[in-house]
A and B are shown apart, each in its own frame.
Chain A
Amino acid sequence: MTKNFRMLFFAMFAILALGLWLEPAWADKLQDAIGATPQGVDKGQIDAAKPAGFLGIPGGPQVNPILAFAWAVWCGWIFSTVGAFGGVMAGVGHMTVFGLGNYAKSFKQTSPGLNKTITDSIRGSNQYLVGLSALISSFNYYRMGRLVVPLAIALGIGSMLGAWGSVTLTAGKVTFSQYQGWFGLFVLALGCYLFYETSSSGQASKKKAKAAASAFEASVKKQKSGEVVDTAALGVKVTKMSFTQICFTFYAVEFKFNPLIPLLGGVVISAVAAFLGVGGGFLLVPFLTSVAELPMYLAAGTSALAVLISMITSIITLISKGVTFDWALIGLELVGIAVGSVIGPRTSKYFSDLWLKRLFIVLALYVGIDYVLAGFFNIKITG
């Protein structure tokens, strides 16, 4: 093991250990919330005579396993064909399709504590489906020299602060309606971004970049360089490190950045991702490539580590607040995603990228508007 690898390895374990030191009140919070809920058969009450449902709550919704599996297949299909939106669809499944959102809302007046506990469980469940992919990819990227360690640390610290702060400030305090409203706002913003991408100006900008890339490739092919490049000498090399500036070279070109930028960016992006349960990974890479102008491969490896840290922090913090998860439901969803990710590539040739994005714009607008109205204004279009 190299020295840097050992440092990275033990830093990650220190984060986990720190989280565990918080002594999770496992299931106590849920049991306390159930105990504080009025007993009875009406809406917003718990009937102890009924069989256990979601999270083991008596009378809780029994999520139809076939529906859960089918929706997860849909999410897996999206992961493998669209390149985005998979986590959002998983969230929509938890909140609307499985009826968990309505169940949480039913306790809004009678047991706000249970309302918020169920909301936190839903938030955490959304994260499992996307967040942990960074766990292994971080090590792989590091081993391939695609990780800028000081940048990763700055981003990682920011991500940890953002995720920890977001969950600490909001766990047990957010009603389902508030969560639904903010989730809807994020989905609306995503829809607007997808809309821009498919608009004539967005497409023109993409076409221009593609044409420039093709022109450069053609000119490179014409050149007869015959040079032998020592790629080992051209990897990431950190040349200067201070609190206000970090310089490194990649392929003999110097890059520099103020570590405050990835730190603050990490805080904001991971705070949003930890609060909503989605969106960390796909926001970080464009942030790094646009703010720091990093080569894509460096941005991918560096952001993978930040996503890893952010998700571990937020999941551990949720657990330390006593949030419970329905493991069987999560397991079934993972199997569904596996199936969807096999089907997706086989069907991708029948759908154009542009029309798929337009389909998701429609979905994003529908879900976004529905959730914002239902969450913030209690106006139901579909529920």
Chain B
Amino acid sequence: MDLLTPYLLFFDPWFIAPFRWLSSPVFGYLLGTAFLGLQCVICGDLSATAVTYSNRKYLRKFQKEMDRHRDLSEQALRMGDKESYKAVNRQALDAFGYSFSLGAAIFCVSIWPMPFVLAWMHLRFADAPLDLPVHIPFVGSSLNYFSSFLLLYIVIRILYSMVMTRFSWYRGMKARLLGQSVGVAEK
């Protein structure tokens, strides 16, 4: 989509800067890609939180339905009432369908910066894969821009989640938005 190229070029100085902070091309590339990944994660998390906030009543409605039917199905299991368990489980499934789809939409929101970053990386690194200093089993001796970005993005996203959930204000905020008890978010 050529129409977006001018916008990608507008951000080019900002995106390319971290790649030039280190003298080593390999480590500079890794640092720059990691920095891009971190920006994507933060931007995505802020966007997903904003969308979750604007949909909080709707999300809480389905969360409440699922919680109610979960508790009931567990009660039915404890009482050995299989027919009631199946009936209640079916209600939970209906509520889950809506929650799952909305969750998928919110996840799409959390990764929206990624394709734009990949489009920029295609402009810059499509013909310049990262040559690794050693041959890594199962990976090879070079990595194209998509593979290197995706791997680093996943690591950074997991680390980001692990670090941020240590802060009680972050855990509490996420739990309140979804209508969950803070204890659930802490697990």
| 28 A-B pairs whose Cβ atoms sit less than 8 Å apart in the complex | A16-B150, A21-B139, A21-B140, A26-B126, A78-B101, A130-B104, A133-B103, A206-B90, A206-B94, A213-B91, A215-B84, A216-B88, A250-B77, A286-B93, A295-B77, A297-B66, A319-B146, A325-B115, A327-B116, A328-B8, A329-B1, A337-B108, A337-B109, A338-B105, A338-B108, A340-B105, A341-B109, A345-B57
* A265 located at the interface, meaning its Cβ lies under 8 Å from any Cβ of chain B in the complex: no
Chain A 306-345 against B: per-residue CB contact (8 Å), 1 yes, 0 no?
0000000000000100000111111110110110111011
**CB <8 Å contact, B154 and A328:** no
Is B139 a contact partner of A20 (Cβ separation < 8 A)? Answer: yes
Tell me whether B170 is interfacial, beta carbon within 8 Å: no
User: Contacts of A49 on B, CB cut-off 8 Å?
Assistant: none
Interface of B, secondary structure class, is helix
Interface size on B, residues (CB 8 A): 78
Could you say which of A137, A208, A334 contacts B103, with CB atoms under 8 Å apart?
Answer: A137
Binding site for B on A (CB under 8 A): 9, 14, 16-18, 20-21, 23-24, 26-27, 51-54, 62-63, 65, 76, 78-80, 82-84, 86, 128-130, 132-133, 135-137, 139, 143-145, 206, 208-210, 212-213, 215-217, 220, 229, 234, 250-253, 281-282, 285-286, 289, 293, 295-297, 299-300, 319, 325-332, 334-335, 337-338, 340-342, 344-345, 348
Residues of A within 8 A of B115 (CB): 128, 325, 327-331, 334
Cβ contacts under 8 Å, B68 to chain A: 217
Given A20-B138, A62-B2, are A281 and B154 also a contact pair (CB < 8 Å)? no
Q: Once the chains bind, are A209 and B87 in contact (CB under 8 Å)?
A: yes
Selected contact of B87 from candidates A21, A130, A212, CB within 8 Å? A212
Cβ of B184 and Cβ of A213 under 8 Å apart?
no
* B140 nearest in chain A by CB position: A23
Instruction: For the complex, give the distance between the alpha carbons of A250 and B147 in Å.
Output: 39
Interface membership of B39, Cβ < 8 A: no
Beta-carbon contact of B87 and A216 below 8 Å: yes
B92 at the interface (CB under 8 A from A): yes
**Interface members, chain B 63-82 (any A CB < 8 Å):** 66, 68-70, 72-78, 80-81
Contact indicator A296/B96 (Cβ below 8 Å): yes
The reply to whether A216 and B76 form a contact with Cβ atoms under 8 Å apart is yes
Beta-carbon nearest neighbor of A253 in chain B: B77
Contact indicator B140/A216 (Cβ below 8 Å): no
